[in-house]
Chains A and B, each alone.
Chain A
């Protein structure tokens, strides 16, 4: 023991010369390099360095680190890379304001515009009208149904003159549940029963009513996932999902690509792959968000596929959100199967608490302006939370009353659906026919309000750039607003979503004529 100390003392005594002290002053780390004073300095210096490094990391992370406090059980989410990018906000807020800072969300979303929204804005500024603005832009980018609006108008006129007390404000001043009055829920459950094939019973206690399907999706995102978590979404998907799920809930959407070769049907292998890739990146996947009938393609999930999805969700212990807002807008030969139907027939084997259905009247009854949406869930906790969050998007009383009496008119609803289905079938058939004469093929569809058209033959560089160039041509030459596939996150360029329910049979030739102009321009330039 003593011996081992010898060399050190030796070296100390053997270095009394002035030159070595000078060296010591100049190179203070010398001792460390040479192993003298090793323990003390060797432990102090790395500790100090490590401490400063930690301090630095902490300071840098503090601003980002505020989010993960809300999602405790997920250690992976400590670096959320989501829309709230700090770099961007600082740049734009400094420049545009006199110093009052806005939130990152506000600055990110004020310049977050995909072609979908740019198109909508441009079309609304210069809308086509047969007489007053024949050169205006024809709006085919929305998901609207004006085919049977006359029926609704008739009903409203009758109702208005009938002296119904639907809008009287009795009971309005008392405390009203944010999640909708029971009468409306009851009427809606009957209505949904009818729309979803007549075999399912919807329980009003599992319903939460919101001001449209849009907030319904947002509320579910808030309930099911924390900031930085993700949902799997088959592409192409509805462009609005990006806003509803990403903006405020901060939940990421992971695309599961579907391809034209399968007619854009979902494949379980692609789903599995997307899931495991996300897991590898450290992203927590909390659910699958699918639309059925799909928007924009218009195909439907088969019964087998629904079972597969349920199994997948069960297997990974995640949620399944099915957006069925187009359930009543079917016209094809395929039969629509609601997930509720499967849950009812196989209730013993399925954990219902992970399945949530979104429905609304915007599409099937063409009442988008009325803002009536439904969350239908079997999960008590989700329902309780959603009821509380409803205060931010509740339906106003007069609308609730109006819709209640409309839905209770069984005969009207029956007539409406029959007429609407026939008209949709007719317009769809005519339009697809006319498009194919121009050499434009559409994906096979049986529901929804869109043609999903393949115009890849018309785009010059086969890429997203070429697609957006063609879209620009549609806007400027043809004056038609349609939705480019890239806005729907379609992986193959050249696909466009065309809403056919905003035109009447008589307008089809006009629209086709305008499309022909673009086709000719493209052909002559190539």
Chain B
């Protein structure tokens, strides 16, 4: 009853006000359109429409503003989490790959659109800048003694002579197959019928070689292999298989500079650094891993796996049995993958024994699905430009997908043929691995000792091709900027191209990677003498 009475009043006020206020009232309404709201008339309708509209416009504004910022999600998270590595500081080393504004700058013409991701690759990190510079003006003892000595790429030149000898003896047989009959590769190899992921013959040879490299403690199944044209595509294919756009991998730093490209560029996967410190000799710390995982989770990132390098690159230390086990436990607990990059497995020289992830898996059977091993065939046998690498996985789905993706980075028939016959020559391989180990050890010791005389300490290493040297004493300021400034001096004044720690996302400034396997013994004094110049100039 009361409602009935109440219903009447609301419609009446507008009519009464308009009738009573006359001309002045209408003028007011025209001038102050919100009057109705202020006075509570038409409240329901306007009161809901106006705030909604305002809110909507606000959202729109926020969205357009954030869109610009969203262009660089893969790079921004890690620069947030680690204070030092955002190599923005040297002006000529353009960084922050994914900024929209640069896209427009680099293609200023009205010409057709280039993809945002293409433009994002325009920038070069110091690592690549150094490579180009060294390639332009390479050092040669006689021809170009003032050239740049190149110590930044993980190549092994130490045993090239052995491979050369083998080639000389076996070349025609290797490529032309038994009896010099080319139709061998002719039909099976040249035709597209050949599987993109490598011929079985090569896989069998690789399996036995890999077993040999870990002292026959593990049996590798050739049918669980996918052969790709190099380490980068192998890592990329695994990233494509294991993570979606915007997901993340945990990677202990310092890590190889090429990971950024391999894991991130095309896949859109992000790298969450797990900083390792000099106090632990840059060994991986599970607590740091856990912390990085939780922080990433808090930021809303989905972590899909861990990428470890063992023996690590650039430091060269080995992951112990216990660390590998606890890594596996960690991965199981978080239900994520492990990519174990073992490209230097055959190039260990220290006292510590190398333990492959595969050995751990022999025992821990139920975790096989989540572990994927990358093995760099060509690096271990001194022929990196042969571009051969193996993905070894027990996960059927990953293998199936990787086999299909291998069509986009497949290894060529002559190379397969060559590698097959080289790897099948068991006596040569045995001999090669032994000599290689001895020479690595000798060279590393000699180089580290000479650096020590200059007051430069190296992290302890047992494998790989690098010395990880602490040159923080030579920096003018203890910061990333100081490091890059020193790198610049090394490259342009001393003419030595090394890998700065920043490029490896090392959390402590002042560390540099020297690839000692590119040197011969008589080159060492030249390098040391050039370093001495820098060290004197600093003092």
Which residues of A come within 8 Å of B, CB atoms? Answer: 1, 3-8, 10-11, 14-15, 17, 19-20, 23, 32, 34-35, 38-40, 42-43, 45-47, 50-51, 54, 63, 66-67, 69-73, 84, 93, 96-107, 109-110, 120, 124, 127, 139, 142-144, 146, 149, 152-153, 156-157, 160-161, 167-169, 172-177, 211-212, 214-215, 218, 222-227, 229, 243-244, 247-249, 286-287, 313, 317-319, 351, 353-354, 362, 366-372, 379, 381-382, 384-385, 388-389, 391-399, 402, 502
- Residues of B near A157 (CB, < 8 A) are 176, 180, 182
Assess whether B407 is in contact with A243, with CB atoms less than 8 Å apart.
yes
Write out, one digit per residue, whether chain B residues 410-422 have a CB within 8 A of any chain A CB (1) or not (0). Answer: 1111110010000
Does B404 lie at the interface of the complex (its beta carbon under 8 Å from any beta carbon of A)? yes
Those of B72-117 within 8 Å (CB) of chain A: 73, 98, 100, 106-107, 109-117
A254–B120 alpha-carbon span in the complex (Å): 26
Assess whether B193 is in contact with A393, with CB atoms less than 8 Å apart.
no
Assess whether B172 is in contact with A161, with CB atoms less than 8 Å apart.
yes
Does B203 lie at the interface of the complex (its beta carbon under 8 Å from any beta carbon of A)? no
State the majority secondary structure of interface residues on A: helix
A109–B3 alpha-carbon span in the complex (Å): 65
Known: A4-B40, A173-B157. A102 touches B48 (CB 8 A): no
A71–B13 alpha-carbon span in the complex (Å): 55
A241 to nearest B CB, angstroms? 12
Those of B373-389 within 8 Å (CB) of chain A: 378, 382-388
- Residues of A near B59 (CB, < 8 A) are 54
Question: Which of these, B10, B164, B366, B412, contacts A169 with CB under 8 Å?
Answer: B164
Those of B477-518 within 8 Å (CB) of chain A: 518
Does B288 lie at the interface of the complex (its beta carbon under 8 Å from any beta carbon of A)? no
- Residues of A near B336 (CB, < 8 A) are 100
Question: Which of these, A39, A105, A146, A169, contacts B47 with CB under 8 Å?
Answer: A39
Does B155 lie at the interface of the complex (its beta carbon under 8 Å from any beta carbon of A)? yes
Q: Which residue of B lies closest to A217 (CB)?
A: B408
Assess whether B337 is in contact with A100, with CB atoms less than 8 Å apart.
yes
Assess whether B182 is in contact with A96, with CB atoms less than 8 Å apart.
no
Known: A369-B185, A385-B121. A175 touches B135 (CB 8 A): yes
A324 to nearest B CB, angstroms? 18
Assess whether B156 is in contact with A173, with CB atoms less than 8 Å apart.
yes
Known: A34-B3, A222-B117. A402 touches B414 (CB 8 A): yes
- Residues of A near B241 (CB, < 8 A) are 102-103, 105-106
- Residues of A near B150 (CB, < 8 A) are 174-175
Interface centre among B131, B241, B262 (most CB of A within 10 A): B241
Assess whether A161 is in contact with B409, with CB atoms less than 8 Å apart.
no
Known: A34-B3, A47-B52. A11 touches B9 (CB 8 A): yes
Assess whether B401 is in contact with A105, with CB atoms less than 8 Å apart.
yes
Assess whether B244 is in contact with A3, with CB atoms less than 8 Å apart.
no
Assess whether A395 is in contact with B412, with CB atoms less than 8 Å apart.
yes
- Residues of B near A177 (CB, < 8 A) are 135
Starting from the known contacts A160-B175, A392-B262, 5 additional A-B residue pairs (CB-CB under 8 Å) come to: A47-B55, A103-B247, A287-B112, A351-B111, A392-B230
Which of B232-240, B315-323, B438-446 is found at the contact surface with chain A? B232-240
A229–B388 alpha-carbon span in the complex (Å): 33
A352 to nearest B CB, angstroms? 9
Assess whether B111 is in contact with A353, with CB atoms less than 8 Å apart.
yes
Interface centre among B6, B39, B56 (most CB of A within 10 A): B6
A97–B384 alpha-carbon span in the complex (Å): 35
A381–B118 alpha-carbon span in the complex (Å): 8
Those of B1-41 within 8 Å (CB) of chain A: 2-3, 5-7, 9-10, 12-13, 16-17, 20, 37, 39-41
- Residues of B near A11 (CB, < 8 A) are 6, 9
B507 to nearest A CB, angstroms? 26
Assess whether A46 is in contact with B52, with CB atoms less than 8 Å apart.
yes
- Residues of B near A20 (CB, < 8 A) are 2-3
- Residues of A near B384 (CB, < 8 A) are 172-173
Assess whether A369 is in contact with B116, with CB atoms less than 8 Å apart.
no
Interface centre among B116, B247, B266, B418 (most CB of A within 10 A): B116
Assess whether B401 is in contact with A109, with CB atoms less than 8 Å apart.
yes
Q: Which residue of B lies closest to A124 (CB)?
A: B193
- Residues of B near A3 (CB, < 8 A) are 13, 16-17, 20
Assess whether A142 is in contact with B407, with CB atoms less than 8 Å apart.
no
Known: A102-B242, A149-B190, A222-B118. A396 touches B385 (CB 8 A): yes
A281 to nearest B CB, angstroms? 18
Known: A175-B150, A394-B387. A103 touches B243 (CB 8 A): yes
- Residues of B near A176 (CB, < 8 A) are 385
- Residues of B near A370 (CB, < 8 A) are 190, 412-414
Known: A351-B111, A398-B418. A168 touches B265 (CB 8 A): no
Does B160 lie at the interface of the complex (its beta carbon under 8 Å from any beta carbon of A)? yes
Does B431 lie at the interface of the complex (its beta carbon under 8 Å from any beta carbon of A)? no
Assess whether A385 is in contact with B10, with CB atoms less than 8 Å apart.
no
Interface size class of B (residues with CB under 8 A): 35 or more
A3–B21 alpha-carbon span in the complex (Å): 10
Assess whether A47 is in contact with B412, with CB atoms less than 8 Å apart.
no
Q: Which residue of B lies closest to A352 (CB)?
A: B111
Which of B63-71, B448-456, B468-476 is found at the contact surface with chain A? B63-71
B359 to nearest A CB, angstroms? 20
Does B343 lie at the interface of the complex (its beta carbon under 8 Å from any beta carbon of A)? no
Assess whether A4 is in contact with B163, with CB atoms less than 8 Å apart.
no
Question: Which of these, A8, A42, A372, A502, contacts B44 with CB under 8 Å?
Answer: A42
Known: A393-B229, A398-B414. A97 touches B397 (CB 8 A): yes
Assess whether A398 is in contact with B386, with CB atoms less than 8 Å apart.
yes
Sample (22) of A-B pairs whose CB atoms are under 8 Å apart: A3-B13, A3-B17, A3-B20, A47-B48, A66-B268, A69-B73, A70-B268, A84-B245, A105-B241, A105-B244, A120-B193, A174-B150, A215-B408, A218-B408, A224-B113, A362-B192, A368-B192, A388-B265, A389-B265, A391-B233, A392-B266, A399-B412
Known: A5-B40, A146-B191. A354 touches B408 (CB 8 A): no
Interface centre among B115, B134, B232, B266 (most CB of A within 10 A): B115
Known: A102-B242, A146-B191. A71 touches B41 (CB 8 A): no
Does B286 lie at the interface of the complex (its beta carbon under 8 Å from any beta carbon of A)? no
Interface centre among A105, A120, A227 (most CB of B within 10 A): A105
- Residues of B near A97 (CB, < 8 A) are 369, 395, 397
Assess whether B386 is in contact with A396, with CB atoms less than 8 Å apart.
yes
Does B246 lie at the interface of the complex (its beta carbon under 8 Å from any beta carbon of A)? yes
A219 to nearest B CB, angstroms? 9
Known: A38-B44, A72-B100. A156 touches B175 (CB 8 A): yes
- Residues of A near B397 (CB, < 8 A) are 93, 96-97, 102, 106-107, 110
Does B129 lie at the interface of the complex (its beta carbon under 8 Å from any beta carbon of A)? no
Q: Which residue of A lies closest to B70 (CB)?
A: A69
Assess whether A100 is in contact with B112, with CB atoms less than 8 Å apart.
no
- Residues of B near A142 (CB, < 8 A) are 191-193
Question: Which of these, B41, B100, B115, B518, contacts A226 with CB under 8 Å?
Answer: B115
Assess whether B335 is in contact with A99, with CB atoms less than 8 Å apart.
yes
Does B526 lie at the interface of the complex (its beta carbon under 8 Å from any beta carbon of A)? no
- Residues of A near B236 (CB, < 8 A) are 392
A389–B2 alpha-carbon span in the complex (Å): 78
B529 to nearest A CB, angstroms? 22
Q: Which residue of A lies closest to B402 (CB)?
A: A106
B25 to nearest A CB, angstroms? 10
Known: A146-B191, A396-B385. A173 touches B160 (CB 8 A): yes
Assess whether A67 is in contact with B245, with CB atoms less than 8 Å apart.
yes
- Residues of B near A34 (CB, < 8 A) are 3, 6-7, 10
B271 to nearest A CB, angstroms? 15
- Residues of B near A168 (CB, < 8 A) are 164, 167-168
Assess whether B383 is in contact with A172, with CB atoms less than 8 Å apart.
yes
Question: Which of these, A17, A169, A368, contacts B160 with CB under 8 Å?
Answer: A169
- Residues of B near A224 (CB, < 8 A) are 112-115, 118
Q: Which residue of A lies closest to B119 (CB)?
A: A381
Assess whether A15 is in contact with B2, with CB atoms less than 8 Å apart.
yes
- Residues of A near B337 (CB, < 8 A) are 100
Assess whether B242 is in contact with A14, with CB atoms less than 8 Å apart.
no
